[in-house]
A and B are shown apart, each in its own frame.
Chain A
Amino acid sequence: MFAQTKLNIHDRHVQSLVRTLFMLMTALLILPVLAILATLIVKGGSMISWDFLFSDPTDGMTAGGIFPALLGTIWLVAVALMVSVPLGIAAAIYLSEFAPDNWMTRIINLAIINLAGVPSIVHALFGVGAFVLFFGFGTSILAASLTLAIMTLPVVIVASRESLQAVPQAFREACWNMGATRWQTIMKVVLPNAISGILTGVILEVSRTTGETAPIMFTGAAFFLPFLPESVFDQTMALSLHLFVVSTQVPNVPEALPYGVALVLISMVLLMNSISIAFRMYLRGKKKW
């Protein structure tokens, strides 16, 4: 009665074939990632040293370190985050918790999704027009960071909104039914349960801005500066632009240098991602519902 039939055997073969095929495709997918990392480590690993990270470039950027660019990137990303995170979270809270389900809201949601698809060079031009010229910030960290912020805003909103919507509706209703206002419900129940997801999601998305070149190139990042930025109104060097410059614009650069810069850049991104993933796993382990 329970014996295998021909059809069972056939089905099992099909299944194992499909599984193997899909596994191979997955392997193909992570191959480029591993290849990139391996190349960078092999070719640029020898560059990495205390001096490389913490001293200025010398000899027309063909020797020395990358400190101004490293510091500049941190500046740019930090200021961009300070703008986009509060704004994005506020918008996400509005959209998830307050906005009525009408055509206005739907149009806003649509706009956000489309905004996420705008090419970064277009953001760059917008940044020049708006922040450098119109608001008169000049080419500065402020203008560049604001451009980055506008660019990352859609992803911050989407990531935050998803975390907010992952909080079970039953919690909100429980609060409302005890007479809490929407705002009280948000503060006491929704945000405390979503904030970790929001922050990790935001870090994950925003770490990508670390590598952006186009939006900062016309708005605040410089090829080479003999001094470190002192305020947000200064220009700055940045890792991504520095990588572009030493790979294509400067003659007689030792082969390992661009690889070294790239390795530092990608390490920063990976570091941020791992922190955010570790944090998320930690919180997920703690959550019970």
Chain B
Amino acid sequence: MNHIQNAATAHDEPVIQTRKLNLWYGDFQALYDINLNIRKGIITSLIGPSGCGKSTFLRSVNRINERLGYVRIEGSIDVMKQNVYAPEVELVQVRKQIGMVFQRPNPLPISIRDNVLFGHNLHNRDQKTSRSEQDDIMEAALRQVLLWDKVKDRLNHKGTSLSLEEQQKLCIARLIPVKPALLLMDEPCSALDPKGTEAVEELIWELRGDYSILIVTHNMAQARRASEECIFMLMGKVVEHTSTEQMFVTPKQQQTADYIEGRYG
């Protein structure tokens, strides 16, 4: 796989580093020899036709694939230089350090306030946070996702009562108080209307720099607008990993060019 160009240079710290990652669902191999260095502090988008293994890759980074029971993995995935599949790893910490945003917004059926503080209260039970400290944390998180002004007067309403766009922002907001090292997003805009998509995209772009973000998308324009590096996958393999600009202007691989021009649908 020497044709894969790793955009990360030697002194750029990777947030995710995979070595010979292979994954099987039962007998079906979904990922083949994935070697990636995903850079810290930037937005990387993951594109490719349906069924090429984008979600599978994302889900293996925070180890939610293994809930299925019939998933087998070989190779390694290091997040911040630590193998998440090492035996001594505590799953709760993996989930805390690696936040995930799903295609369908999944706020909890509790108040907006409790939604934002859910992770924080869960992981900081050993030290008491006063009510006003909690309020500050919540406000900061909601401000960061550009939701504060809209919901500040109804913090006691249920998170599930918001519009889809607001729900998705809330789902991002609730990750912020636990200060995750990495955010994974699996088509975070595809359940939203164009206006919502734009708003959430804008928000993700705002988070750039503060967080390392890996985002799966079906939307070429979105990948192009809202990411700095881009990974193209095809049938379980990584075809190309370069800066977004380069991928959309002068892709190295013919397959990438074909896909970008819409020849795979």
Interface residues of B (CB under 8 A from A): 62, 64, 67, 91-96, 99-100, 104, 106-110, 118-119, 122-123, 158, 160-161, 171, 174-175, 178
Contacts and interface: CB of A to CB of B under 8 A. Distances in A.
Contact of A174 (B94, B106, B178): B106
Contacts of A178: 95-96, 99, 118-119, 122, 174-175, 178
Contacts of B158: 288
A173 interface: yes
B90 to A, nearest CB: 9
Given A179-B93, A179-B119, A184-B122, A171 B109 contact: yes
Interchain residue pairs A-B with the least CB separation, the first 7: A179-B95, A179-B96, A174-B106, A178-B119, A179-B92, A170-B106, A289-B160
A180 interface: yes
A177 B95 contact: yes
A193 interface: yes
14 contacts: A171-B108, A174-B106, A174-B171, A177-B62, A178-B174, A179-B93, A179-B94, A181-B92, A188-B108, A188-B118, A189-B110, A193-B109, A287-B109, A288-B160
Nearest to B122: A180
B106 A173 contact: yes
Given A175-B108, A179-B94, 19 more contacts: A170-B104, A171-B109, A173-B64, A174-B106, A176-B95, A177-B62, A177-B95, A178-B96, A178-B99, A178-B122, A178-B178, A179-B92, A179-B95, A180-B122, A184-B122, A189-B109, A189-B110, A288-B161, A289-B160
Q: What interface size band does chain A fall in?
A: 10 to 19
Interface in A232-289: 287-289
B123 to A, nearest CB: 6
B123 A179 contact: yes
A171 B171 CA distance: 12
Interface in A179-195: 179-181, 184, 188-189, 192-193
A287 B94 CA distance: 33
Contacts of B123: 179
Contacts of A184: 122
A179 B122 contact: yes
A283 to B, nearest CB: 12
A174 B107 contact: yes
Nearest to B62: A177
Q: Which of B100, B106, B118, B160 has the most CB of A within 10 A?
A: B106
Contacts of B104: 170
A180 B91 CA distance: 10
Contacts of B67: 176
A177 B64 CA distance: 8
Contacts of A174: 106-108, 171
